[in-house]
Amino acid sequence: MSFAAIIFDFDGVIADSEVRANLSLSESLTAAGMPTTYEESLRDYYGHNWQETQRRIEARFGRLLPPDFRETHRTRARARFMDGFDAVPGVADFLGALGATPRAIASSSRAEYIDWALGLFGLRHHFADHIYSADGWDRGKPHPDIYLAAAKGLGVDPAACLAIEDSPTGARAAIAAGMTVVGFCGAGHIVDRAGHGETLRGVGVHHVAPTYEALHAFALHRA
C-alpha cells in the first residue's frame, strides 16, 4: 500500500445520493418560487456545502431564501431518502479490503446525515471518529480546508493521502490540499461516465475510476 491514508468524499462516492439530493433540492426551490430543474441543481450546486449553495441560489434569483427553507427542504429530502437509499456499488468490498489503512470522510454534507447513512449501509465501523464535515464552514469545497482537516485528524501528511472524489468542486479541493486524487464515476447520477471522467481529468485529477473494482486496482495494487 503506497498511500498513508485514503480520504473519501461522501455523496457520490460512498452514498449513492446525488440523484435524490438534487431532485429534492430542485423540487424545494421550485415550490419556493425559484424554478429549478434537476439538471440545473446538479450543474450549479453539486459538491458544495449548504452555505455556498445558499449563496449561489440567492445570487441566481436575486433574493433571499425563505427563513424556513432549509428545514422545509430537509423534510422533503428525508422522505425521498427513506425509499431505497443505498451505498455506491462496490464500496463495502473496497472498504473491507483496506485492512488497517487509515481512512476518513471529508464531506460537504451534515455530519448527522453522514452518520445516519453510514449506519443504514452498515459501514459506520470503518471510519471511527474520522468523519469531517464542512457544513457550517464559510470555506467549503473547492477550498482545501476540509481535506486538510481530515489529514490532520488522521495525523498524516496530505501529500501522502489518496482522495476519492466524484465532483469537480471536490476534486479541486483535494488537489489544492496536495493529495493524489482519483475521479470516481461509479454512482447513479453519472450517466456519461466517459464524459464525466474527462471533465474530472480537465480539473486535474490524477486517475479516473469508473467503478470500485477499477479503483481497487489503482489504490491497492500499485507498485
In this structure, what DSSP letter does residue 11 have?
B
Alpha-carbon distances of 87 from 12, 23, 74, 93, 114, rounded to whole Å: 9, 18, 20, 11, 12
Q: Write down the residue that cell numbers 481529468 correspond to.
A: 201
Q: Residues 172, 173, 178, 182: is their CA dihedral positive or negative?
A: negative
Give the three cell numbers for residue 167: 465532483
User: How far is 33 from 59, CA to CA, in rounded Å?
Assistant: 15
Catalytic residue among 9, 16, 145, 166: 9
Strands across the sheet with 131-133, in order?
131-133, 103-107, 5-8, 161-165, 180-184, 207-209
* Short-list 167, 183, 190, CA closest to 219: 183
Longest dimension (CA), the chain: 55
Catalytic residue among 11, 16, 145, 166: 11
Q: Is 9 an annotated catalytic residue?
A: yes
Q: Write down the residue that cell numbers 490532520 correspond to.
A: 152
Q: Is 16 an annotated catalytic residue?
A: no
87: CB partners within 8 A, 6+ apart: 14, 15, 16, 121, 123
What residues are labeled active site? Answer: 9, 11
